[in-house]
Structure 1
Amino acid sequence: MKLLSADKITMKFGGLTAVKDFSLELNKGEIVALIGPNGAGKTTAFNMITGVYTPTEGKIFLNKEKISGLKPDAITKKGIARTFQNIRLFGELSVLDNVLIANHLHLKSMFLEGMFKLPRYRREEKEMIEKSLELLKRVDLYDLKDEKASSLPYGKQRRLEIARGLATNPEIMLLDEPAAGMNPKESDELTSFINEIRNEFGLTIFMIEHHMPLVMGISDRIYVLDHGVTIAHGTPYEIQNNSKVIEAYLGVKEDA
């Protein structure tokens, strides 16, 4: 079942074309990777999907509904969550509070109801706390719920950032270089964690990643960008043996 599609989306900044005619399909339950050399346009593609940029050309659809041109918060409400290469947690707040903030996205109470602690807000607040605590149990962070986010080890911070995304009830989770800065043990734990949340939460996952063992070990399909253009798309085996991909990464012809 196709959840998200991008139809030849292009992003231009003045005279510079960062991404050209990028097409994408994400099917329910898949883990799909987007790889390519630095400066290939991967983050720009993410930014178009999540509403940071509106494509100069082309359209993006989620469940057959056009979402290109919507603001990031509207796209999040429709079911797309995102993490960033540089972890963006509220470092001075607790682990629990970081997840609670994400839960506020779906609050139905009005501003004044919250200000005066009216019954509907109190009821929703209680439900949010219960939901957040349950989520922390499911991602193995419950015992750290009262710790400052900034005090967590790097791998746990990344797990918390993903948990915060899960709190928005996404169908699709976009992970921007989730293994960046991790040691081998943390990378292995992350690989297992991504598989676990895909299965437990019924997610579709789209990720940018440079750590090739993770990409090849976990992805169902892979897209490869180079200088803003898609040069390959296929299974991990097909990508590993693609001459254009080898040349883009190594800078030499395959038979050199």
Structure 2
Amino acid sequence: MAKTQTVLQTDSMTMRFGGVTAVFQLNLDIREHQIVALIGPNGAGKTTAFNMITGVYTPTEGDVIYTAPGKESVKITGKLPSDIAKMGIARTFQNIRLFKDLSVYENVMIAKHLHLKSNFLSAALHLPWYNKEQRAMAADVEKLLRSVDLWELRDEKASSLPYGKQRRLEIVRALATNPKILLLDEPAAGMNPKETEELTEFIRQIRDEYKLTIFMIEHHMDLVMEISDWIYVLDFGMLIAEGTPAEIQNNSRVIEAYLGVDEDAEG
């Protein structure tokens, strides 16, 4: 794997719930502009790891360290999710969390407001700088929706979209916050093979077009193996392997723990 700048690190990140250790001393090194996957059986601690990185949980022990391009590394351990999002780390969820009664356009515009500089009074009085900022945001939303082939659906209710389009909209809404790192929690969940294939190309497209680093949890192994630059494997909250897709596919411990395949089986 090419040595590029580290943008996200976890240092012995641990999460305990009472007497249960969900994640134990997890060390990750996510590098700029790469697509990195976190895989493992159900209950392995993958979403817990995402929740610690994005501020939903505060780690019991250890730290999360973020290095925005061109800036010094900072510990973001225990910061509020909204503050972490403003710093440039966005995420989606396993269960789609769109505003289902709002339009495609409105869902994305709401996300743009994360970086709104005007205050409530400016908005209420429609002061010039607020109007200018609104026009700029509207232009950004249009450009974003056009770039991902959702502009023609801008007035449709989010709930009326086909499942694959809803997934795409949720990712686009995260993109609207101008992230440097995008965390995707099982983006292919519930998708048919054609939708999964389209999603694979879409993830590549947004990584390249928006110069993103993408970190994803995914059970769909075809997608993971095709698209990932680097893969981490969790089992019972512990990191059991990391490497390229080829290395992970041939790792006997991963085969035993995650794929549930006899090590002597063919393939």
Q: TM-score, normalised by structure 1?
A: 0.98
* Paired position in structure 1 for 2:70: none
2:66 to 37, 55, 62: 62
Are 2:247 and 1:238 aligned? yes
SS of 2:178 mapped into structure 1: coil
* Paired position in structure 2 for 1:18: 22
Question: Percent of aligned positions with the same letter in both sequences?
Answer: 67
Q: How does 1:91-170 map to 2 (within 5 A)?
A: 91-170=100-179
Deviations 1:143-189 (A, max 9, x none): 11111111111111111111111111100000000000000000000
* Paired position in structure 2 for 1:194: 203
Are 2:91 and 1:82 aligned? yes
Gaps of 5+ in 1: none
SS of 1:9 mapped into structure 2: strand
Report the alpha carbon displacement of residue 251 of structure 1 after superposing the two structures with TM: 4.4
User: Which consecutive segments of 4 or more residues in structure 1 shift more than 6 A?
Assistant: none
- The Cα RMSD (Å) is 1.1
Deviations 1:47-101 (A, max 9, x none): 0000001111001111111111110000000000100111110111111100000
SS of 1:20 mapped into structure 2: strand
Retained in 2: the 8 A contact 1:4–1:62? yes
* Paired position in structure 2 for 1:49: 53
In the alignment, the residues of structure 2 paired with residue 8 and residue 140 of structure 1 have an alpha-carbon distance, to the nearest angstrom, of 41
Retained in 1: the 8 A contact 2:55–2:80? yes
Report the residue type matching 1:51 in the other structure: G
SS of 2:25 mapped into structure 1: strand
Report the residue type matching 1:42 in the other structure: K
In the alignment, the residues of structure 2 paired with residue 215 and residue 99 of structure 1 have an alpha-carbon distance, to the nearest angstrom, of 27
Gaps of 5+ in 2: 68-72
Retained in 1: the 8 A contact 2:235–2:258? no
Report the residue type matching 1:224 in the other structure: V
Report the alpha carbon displacement of residue 123 of structure 1 after superposing the two structures with TM: 1.5
Report the residue type matching 1:202 in the other structure: K
In the alignment, the residues of structure 1 paired with residue 138 and residue 156 of structure 2 have an alpha-carbon distance, to the nearest angstrom, of 16
Report the alpha carbon displacement of residue 113 of structure 1 after superposing the two structures with TM: 1.5
Report the alpha carbon displacement of residue 122 of structure 1 after superposing the two structures with TM: 1.5
Q: Kindly tell me the number of residue pairs found equivalent between the two proteins.
A: 256
* Paired position in structure 2 for 1:30: 34
SS of 1:206 mapped into structure 2: strand
Report the residue type matching 1:110 in the other structure: N
Retained in 2: the 8 A contact 1:89–1:149? yes
Retained in 1: the 8 A contact 2:86–2:114? yes
Specify whether residues 123 and 227 from structure 1 end up closer, same or farther in structure 2 by C-alpha distance, changes over 3 A only: same
